[in-house]
Amino acid sequence: MTKLRALVGLLFIAVLVYSGLWHTSGFQAEKDAAALFASWRDKGLRVDHGKIKLSGFPYRMIITVDGLRVRTRGPGLDLGAESISFISHLWTPGHWVADATNVRLSAADEAIELRDGTVRGSYRLHDDGKAIIVIDSGSTEDFALEKAPGIDEMTRLKNWQLFLRTDPTHVENESGLYEERFLDFKVMLDGGAAQFETTGGIMGPIVKDWTTEELGAWRDAGGLLEIDDFSLGTTGGRMKGSASLTLDEVYRPLGTATVQVAGGKALASTLAAVGLNGLADAIGDDPKTLSLMAQMGTISEGGTNLIALKQLIKD
pLDDT in tens, 161-172: 899 888 655 555
Q: Mean pLDDT over residues 131-141, rounded?
A: 81
Q: What is the model's pLDDT at position 213? A: 87
Domains of the chain, by residue range, sit at 1-157, 170-315
pLDDT in tens, 293-307: 999 989 998 888 888
Q: What is the model's pLDDT at position 99? A: 92
Give the count of beta carbons closer than 10 Å to the beta carbon of residue 112: 16
Q: Mean pLDDT over residues 132-136, rounded?
A: 89
pTM as predicted: 0.76
pLDDT in tens, 216-265: 999 999 899 999 999 988 887 888 999 999 999 999 999 999 999 887 77
Q: What is the model's pLDDT at position 150? A: 60
pLDDT in tens, 88-112: 988 887 889 999 999 999 887 777 8
Cα 65 from Cα 58, distance rounded (Å): 20
